[in-house]
Structure 1
Amino acid sequence: PGTLAYLLFDLVHLDGRDLGAVPLVDRKRLLASILAPHETIRLSEHTVGDAPDVFAAMRELGIEGVVMKRATSTYQPGRRSPDWLKVKALQQQEFVVGGFTRPKGARAGFGALVVGLYERDREGTDRLRYAGHVGSGFDDASLAEVSVALDPLVTDRSPFAVEPKTNEVATWVLPERVAEVRFASWVTGEDGEPHLRAPVFLGLRDDVPPSECRREAPARATTAVRRRPAAIRPSAPAEPPAPVAPLATPRAASAAIDPRDVATPTEMEALEGIRREGTWELQGRRLRLTNLDKVLFPAVGLTKRDLVRYYVSVGPWLLPYLRDRAVNTNPRPDGVGDPGFWQKQVPTHAPPWVRAWHYEGRHDRPHDYVVCDTLPTLVWLANLAAIDLHPWTSRIHAPDQPDWCLFDFDPAEGAGFEEVVQLALALRTTLEHLGLQGFPKVSGQTGVQVYLPLAPGHTFERSRAFAQEVGRLISAALPDLVTWDWEVARRTGKTRIDYTQNAVNKTLAISYSVRPTARAAVSMPVTWDELENDPDLRPDRWTILDALERIAAVGDLFAPVLTLRQELPNLGGAG
Structure 2
Amino acid sequence: MAQSPAVELEVRGRTVRVSSPDRVVFPDRGITKLDVVEYFLAVGDGVLGALLDRPTTLERWPKGVFEGARMATRQDSSGDAFYQKRVPQGAPGYVETSRIAFPSGRTADEVAPTELAVVAWAANLGTLTFHPWPVVRDDVDRPDQVRIDLDPQPGTDFADAARVAPHVRELLAEHGLEGTPKTSGGRGLHVFVPIEPAWTFVEARRATIAFGRELERRLPEQVTMRWWKEERGRKIFVDYNQMARDRTIASAYSIRSNPRATVSAPLTWDEVADAHPDDFDVTTMPARFADVGDLFAPLVAHAAPRYRIDSLLELADRQERDDGHGDLPYPPEYPKMPGEPKRVQPSKDRDRPR
Q: Does the pair score TM above 0.5?
A: yes
If the length of structure 1 is used for normalisation, what is the TM-score? 0.49
Name the counterpart of 1:377. 118
Measured after TM superposition, the shift of residue 356 of structure 1 is: 2.1
| Counterpart among 525, 540, 564 of residue 278 in structure 2 | 540
| Counterpart among 427, 432, 436 of residue 168 in structure 2 | 427
Runs of 4 or more consecutive aligned structure 1 residues displaced over 6 Å after TM superposition? none
Q: Distance in 2 between matches of 1:404 and 1:425?
A: 20
SS in 1 for 2:172: helix
Q: Is the 8 A contact 1:523 1:540 kept in 2?
A: no
Name the counterpart of 1:390. 131
Greater mean alpha carbon deviation, residues 419-428 or residues 352-361? 352-361
Q: Distance in 2 between matches of 1:483 and 1:283?
A: 45
Name the counterpart of 2:308. 567
Q: Distance in 1 between matches of 2:4 and 2:289?
A: 29
Q: Distance in 2 between matches of 1:564 and 1:281?
A: 34
Greater mean alpha carbon deviation, residues 452-461 or residues 351-360? 351-360
Name the counterpart of 1:476. 217
Q: Is the 8 A contact 1:415 1:492 kept in 2?
A: no
Name the counterpart of 1:550. 288
Q: Is the 8 A contact 2:103 2:245 kept in 1?
A: no
Measured after TM superposition, the shift of residue 363 of structure 1 is: 3.2
Amino acid at match of 1:319: L
Instruction: Give a deviation string over 1:277-331, Cα, whole Å, max 9, x none.
Output: 2444544544332121111111111111110111122112221221211110110
Aligned ranges 1:236-247 → 2 under 5 Å: none
Flag the 1:359–1:471 CA change in 2: closer, same or farther, 3 A.
closer
Instruction: Give a deviation string over 1:85-127, Cα, whole Å, max 9, x none.
Output: xxxxxxxxxxxxxxxxxxxxxxxxxxxxxxxxxxxxxxxxxxx
Q: Which has the higher helix share?
A: 2
Q: Distance in 2 between matches of 1:416 and 1:351?
A: 41
SS in 2 for 1:540: helix
Measured after TM superposition, the shift of residue 349 of structure 1 is: 2.4
Name the counterpart of 1:445. 186
Name the counterpart of 2:345. none
Q: Is the 8 A contact 1:483 1:496 kept in 2?
A: yes
- What number of residue pairs does the alignment pair up? 299
| Counterpart among 307, 319, 324 of residue 48 in structure 2 | 319
Amino acid at match of 2:288: R
1:291 maps onto 2:32 in alignment: no
Aligned ranges 1:63-82 → 2 under 5 Å: none
Q: Is the 8 A contact 2:50 2:299 kept in 1?
A: no
| Counterpart among 411, 435, 445 of residue 152 in structure 2 | 411
The alignment's C-alpha RMSD in Å is 2.1
SS in 2 for 1:572: helix
Measured after TM superposition, the shift of residue 452 of structure 1 is: 1.1
1:331 maps onto 2:72 in alignment: no
SS in 2 for 1:455: coil
Unaligned runs of 5+ in 1: 1-273
Larger Rg: 1
Q: Distance in 2 between matches of 1:422 and 1:359?
A: 36
Amino acid at match of 1:352: G
Identical residues among aligned pairs (%): 36
Q: Distance in 2 between matches of 1:441 and 1:555?
A: 14
Amino acid at match of 1:370: V
Name the counterpart of 1:514. 255
If the length of structure 2 is used for normalisation, what is the TM-score? 0.79
1:354 maps onto 2:92 in alignment: no
Q: Which one scores higher on RCO, CA 8 angstroms, separation ≥ 6?
A: 2
Q: Which has the higher strand share?
A: 1
SS in 1 for 2:93: coil
Instruction: Give a deviation string over 1:188-210, Cα, whole Å, max 9, x none.
Output: xxxxxxxxxxxxxxxxxxxxxxx
Measured after TM superposition, the shift of residue 336 of structure 1 is: 2.1
Amino acid at match of 1:288: R
1:496 maps onto 2:237 in alignment: yes
Name the counterpart of 2:37. 308
